[in-house]
C-alpha cells in the first residue's frame, strides 16, 4: 500500500479548513488558486504554480479570462489545468446569471443596464445581444444574435426580430461589447442602432436603448444626448 506523501497531508488540511471556514475576500488569491490546482495537478506542491499564474496574469479575474494556450505556457500547467480554470469561469458566469434571473426586479432603465452589464461578465469576444421585455418592463429573454463587432451584426436584424417575437416582447434593448477597450460608440454603432430600431418597429417592438460595454464600464445611447437616436 502506497504511503501518503507530505502533499497529500497538506491538501487534506487545506480542504478541511476550507470546508469548515470557507474562503472570503481577505483570503490571499494564491491560496485559492493553490487549492483549485489540487484537482488538476496530482501529488505536487501547487503553491509555486499558483504564484506563477498570478504573476503572469495579475489577478484571479484576468486568469479566468485568459486564453487556455496562455495558461498552458506557465510552468506546471497542462491542458487539464487550463480546462479546469476555464470551467470555473463558465460555472461562475452561470451562477451570476441564474442568481440575477431568480431575484432581479426591474425598477428603472438603470436596472436593465445593470442586468445587461452582468450578462457580459467573463465574455472575452465581441457579442451582440438583444434583451426582450414585456410591457411591464419584465425581462423575458436575453439572446445573443451575433458574434464579432456590431457592424457585422447588421444581418442579425432578422435574428433580433425572431428573438423578440419568440419571447412575445414589446420592448427591446440592443447591446454589444468592446473587449479590452472603452465603450465609446462608433459611427457603425449609431448606424446599427438606427437600422435595428427600424427593423423591430416592423414587428411592433420598440427599441429603447443600445448599451455598449467595455473595460468594466458601459455607455447608454439613450442617456447620451450627444447621439441623436430616435428612441
Quick check: pTM over 0.75? no
Residue 111 lies in a domain: yes
- pLDDT of 9 reads 87
Q: Is 2 exposed, middle or buried (0-12, 13-18, 19+ CB in 10 A)?
A: exposed
Is residue 74 located within the same domain as residue 27? yes
- Give the alpha-carbon dihedral of 95, 99, 102, 105, to 10 degrees: -140
Is residue 113 located within the same domain as residue 74? no
Is residue 112 located within the same domain as residue 91? no
- pLDDT of 113 reads 93
Is residue 12 located within the same domain as residue 44? yes
Cβ 231 vs Cβ 204: under 8 Å: no
What total of structural domains would you count in the chain?
2
- pLDDT of 187 reads 86
Which residues, given as ranges, of the chain have pLDDT below 50? 1-3
Q: Distance between CA 168 and CA 176 in Å, rounded? A: 22
pLDDT tens for 1-60 read 444 556 678 899 999 999 988 998 889 999 999 999 999 998 889 999 999 999 999 999
- pLDDT of 25 reads 83
- pLDDT of 137 reads 84
Amino acid at each position: 500500500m502506497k504511503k501518503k506523501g507530505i502533499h497529500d497531508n497538506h491538501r487534506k488540511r487545506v480542504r478541511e479548513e476550507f470546508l469548515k471556514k470557507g474562503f472570503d475576500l481577505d483570503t490571499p488569491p494564491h491560496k485559492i488558486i493553490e487549492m483549485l490546482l489540487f484537482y488538476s495537478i496530482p501529488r505536487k506542491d501547487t503553491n509555486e504554480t499558483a504564484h506563477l499564474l498570478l504573476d503572469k496574469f495579475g489577478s484571479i479575474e484576468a486568469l479566468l479570462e485568459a486564453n487556455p494556450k496562455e495558461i498552458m505556457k506557465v510552468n506546471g500547467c497542462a491542458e487539464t489545468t487550463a480546462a479546469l480554470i476555464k470551467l470555473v469561469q463558465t460555472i461562475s458566469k452561470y451562477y451570476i446569471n441564474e442568481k440575477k434571473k431568480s431575484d432581479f426586479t426591474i425598477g428603472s432603465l438603470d436596472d436593465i443596464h445593470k442586468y445587461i452589464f452582468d450578462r457580459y461578465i467573463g465574455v472575452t469576444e465581441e457579442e451582440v445581444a438583444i434583451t426582450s421585455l414585456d410591457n411591464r418592463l419584465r425581462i423575458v429573454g436575453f439572446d445573443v444574435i451575433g458574434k464579432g463587432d456590431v457592424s457585422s451584426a447588421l444581418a442579425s436584424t432578422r435574428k433580433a426580430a425572431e428573438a423578440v417575437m419568440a419571447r412575445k416582447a414589446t420592448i427591446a434593448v440592443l447591446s454589444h461589447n468592446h473587449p479590452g477597450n472603452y465603450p465609446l460608440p462608433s459611427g457603425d454603432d449609431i448606424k446599427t442602432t438606427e437600422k435595428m430600431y427600424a427593423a423591430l418597429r416592423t414587428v411592433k417592438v420598440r427599441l429603447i436603448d443600445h448599451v455598449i460595454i467595455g473595460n468594466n464600464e458601459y455607455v447608454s445611447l439613450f442617456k447620451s444626448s450627444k447621439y441623436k437616436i430616435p428612441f
